Chains A and B, each alone.
Chain A
Amino acid sequence: MAERIEPDLNFVKNIISSGGGSLKKCFQCATCSVVCKLSPDGKPFPRKEMIHAQWGLKNRLMGDPDIWLCHQCSDCTAYCPRGAKPGEVIGAIRNQFIQNYSAFGFLGKMVSSPSYLIILLVIPVLILLGVLFHLGNLDFTAIPRGEEGVIVFYYFMPHIYVIVIYVALVMFAFFSFVVGVVRYWKELLKNRKEVESPPSGSIVGSIVGAVKEILLHKRFKKCGVERGRKISHLLTFYGFIGLAIGTAWATVKKYGFGMMPPFPLSDPMQWLTNASSVALFVGLGMIIFNRLKDKSKAGIGSYFDWFFIVILAVTGVTGMAAQVFRLADMGVSAYTSYFLHLVFIFYLFAYAPFSKFAHMVYRTAAMVFESHTLRKIPLAAQADK
């Protein structure tokens, strides 16, 4: 059947300018699809993504589960005979994807461009400074102390303000994600080809399966060139989750049980958060080290990628610094760190649907689709089922 091809040249330009500069080098030899251990047998990737991107076939890529099933192991990039770096190109396509699907997608353009960095950082700084001004806490040397004169961040910035701001942000991000996932899912169904069966069985089962796979990081195990990926991502992932749980728990203790922070270091929850911080730091350290070490084989990564890594790291560092300075009774440093920590958390949450953070949601969606349509099972085996 004839199909009208409508190249979107802007889409091609955007991929090239956002980290996929090697795109046009690809000559379709398909080495990448074979060396990729995550690529399924029916309709494998990333060879087809490369030609779709070269031709500007945006619609096909926007309804393609494979751009998210790619975990950027970079085996394709290492073995590519042309230096076309399919791993990097698909990363750039994901960036375009996020701008396309997340509600308020213009923020995606801002998050992936260095020229907007200052504006994006100024927004949370102004909001938080406004709160401090309202509280009369702009003089960091005159913040009231707690019992025995210890530093209590509660007096600097009462949690209720933090909660109001951050819950609003989370809801904003959530909304944007829901819109994005719904749009993506529709497009996935529209683009479904013969290699995927019609959706069948319980969607809940598919979701549970996908989440389980993510928790165990099974796919990273198959990476060849970037073997370190699994452990570094695992540490970052669980470090982040541990910290999120710790923060939520502190809030519950304060408002649910009326317990006043700061909690002593002997509190098991403090152990968890500190252990999680260490995991996060080690994981991110490994990611940065491996990226720099393997840049000639696997590519250096885009601004978009690095930006997310740096924001995560800075969030962790400022959080840790706030705790250390608090315990060391260094008031101004402690408040400043805490303030910056809040700025970066704002950043993480508010821009989650537009930064690489979004991979958590969209990759999960793609994995659910994959399992729901038996995508990863070879065709012959599907017939037997």
Chain B
Amino acid sequence: MVVEKTKTVLVIGGGMSGITAAVETAEVGYNVILIEKEATLGGRVSQLNKYFPKLCPPNCGLEINFRRIKSNPRIRIYTLTEVEKVSGSEGDFDVAIKVNPRYVNENCTACKACEEACTTERPNDFNFGMDKTKAAYLPQDFAFPMRYVIDRDYCSEEDCGKCIEACKYGAIDIHMKPQAISLKVGAIIWATGWNPYDAARLDALGFGKYKNVITNMMMERLAAPNGPTNGKILRPSDGKEVSNVAFVQCAGSRDENHLAYCSYVCCLASIKQSSYVREQYPDAISTIYYIDIRTPGRYERLYLKAKQDEKIRFIKGKVADIEEDAATGDLTVAAEDVATGKKIYEEADLVVLAAGMVPSTQQWKIPTDVSYDTDGFIVFTPRGMHAVGCAAKPADVYSSVQGSTASSLKAIQSLVRR
């Protein structure tokens, strides 16, 4: 007797890897359930200004994928949703998920009336706290689904009255409760992604203490047109235009005391970001302090191009001390220039730490029997499950997308295997 198998694949994580796996699977004709913890799809990629090597804005890639999702009835999406329990085996998994309340229902048209009526603010985590949003907010300009969220940590029932009143569509329901749902799926793709390393733990580099020491992801937000400065790279302490930016490579990565591995993308990210500086301020100097420049494969071209630019300097020597001039907010970075064998103390008005990639599973463990390597990346999954993108290893967008497409085939095999 042939056991009836479910024809559904569950994808956990709505970043670039998860979206790709979902779309590729659905377009072959299988059902997909895509779960995202945040209020919108897009993940880390949606926070970028541009991605390398082509230096095009990520919205173009995301937009195409969002359209593929919209036009495909086989994909069901749950945002603000977490996985609570997984049981069963290949072809027949039972998964319990929890949908957290958004306090805004499907009637929302993103008309902005609630936001305008709202009087309380919350730090904007999409911009790493560099600005604020109202407690009734759209997660980002390209939110998908295009629907508002209400952050109940920052607004009382009384405040909420104003936005309920302002909403013409009856979209706000502040009494929404978390909802438990059971799913039956045949295969699971874990695309849980990554978080930037907590740069405050690098005690010699002054992040969190000096305002003008930021992380590379913050730099993406500063340079992005939908960021806190509308795309103008201005330093946080006084909003001054920058003329001298220091990029500190391996901020956490390749360090046994922090992340023992190379995060793969940071050298390229800093080279890319030096081009943001170059574009906005033709006279500004970018200095990249490194242990080794790692631009694998074809990415080497990006490095060679940057090396020809006289405004981009490369210094071999890891920055191990940063001091601030409290009066001006200017910084002095200290390194040993290995080429000359002398210590150097160089001024910078903005320091960008190339903070490494930490798998999300470092903090949150998948509620099933997967094994992790010593760094927290998923190394082995039970039959019928697959780990993709930065859940499996530090990776760039390009290879994450390739891996996700491959995992899609593997997941389909789990559905049809007899």
Contacts and interface: CB of A to CB of B under 8 A. Distances in A.
Contacts of B250: 29, 81
Given A29-B250, A79-B204, A81-B256, A44 B318 contact: no
Contacts of B255: 81
Nearest to A33: B336
Contacts of A47: 336, 338
Contact of A82 (B256, B319, B321): B256
A59 interface: no
Interface stretch (A35-43, A105-113, A338-346): A35-43
A43 B338 contact: no
A31 B342 contact: no
A29 B337 CA distance: 10
Contacts of B317: 29-30, 34
A326 to B, nearest CB: 52
Nearest to A25: B256
Given A35-B204, A35-B321, A30 B334 contact: no
For the residues of B in contact with A, the DSSP-based class is loop
Q: How large is the interface on B (under 10, 10 to 19, 20 to 34, 35 or more residues)?
A: 20 to 34
B257 interface: yes
For the residues of A in contact with B, the DSSP-based class is loop
A41 B335 CA distance: 10
Nearest to B260: A81
Nearest to A43: B341
Interface residues of A, number: 21
A83 interface: yes
Contact of B342 (A44, A82, A83): A44
A265 B257 CA distance: 53
Given A39-B343, A41-B342, A34 B256 contact: no
B341 A48 contact: yes
A30 B336 contact: yes
B320 interface: yes
A271 to B, nearest CB: 45
B181 interface: no
Interface string B342-380: 110000000000000000000000000000000000000
Contacts of B319: 34
A81 B342 contact: no
Interface in A71-110: 79-83
Contact of A42 (B204, B335, B342): B342
B291 interface: yes
B341 A34 contact: no
Nearest to B291: A29
Contacts of A42: 342-343
A27 interface: yes
Interface in A13-59: 27-31, 33-35, 39-44, 47-48
B7 interface: no
B17 to A, nearest CB: 29
B254 interface: yes
A34 B319 CA distance: 8
Q: Which of B255, B256, B257, B318 counts the most A-chain CB atoms under 10 A from its CB?
A: B318
A28 B341 contact: no
Given A27-B291, A34-B335, A79 B342 contact: no
A34 B342 contact: no
Given A29-B291, A47-B336, A34 B257 contact: no
A16 B355 CA distance: 33
A43 B341 CA distance: 5
A33 B317 CA distance: 10
Given A30-B338, A43-B342, A47-B338, A35 B256 contact: no
Contacts of B343: 33-34, 39-42, 44
Contacts of B336: 30, 33-34, 44, 47
17 contacts: A27-B291, A27-B292, A28-B338, A29-B254, A29-B291, A30-B335, A30-B336, A33-B336, A34-B319, A35-B321, A41-B343, A42-B342, A42-B343, A43-B341, A44-B336, A48-B341, A79-B204
A-B complex: 3 closest residue pairs judged by Cβ atoms: A81-B255, A34-B320, A30-B336
Given A29-B254, A30-B320, A31-B318, 18 more contacts: A29-B250, A29-B291, A30-B335, A30-B336, A30-B338, A33-B343, A35-B320, A40-B343, A43-B342, A44-B336, A47-B336, A47-B338, A79-B320, A81-B254, A81-B257, A81-B258, A81-B318, A82-B256
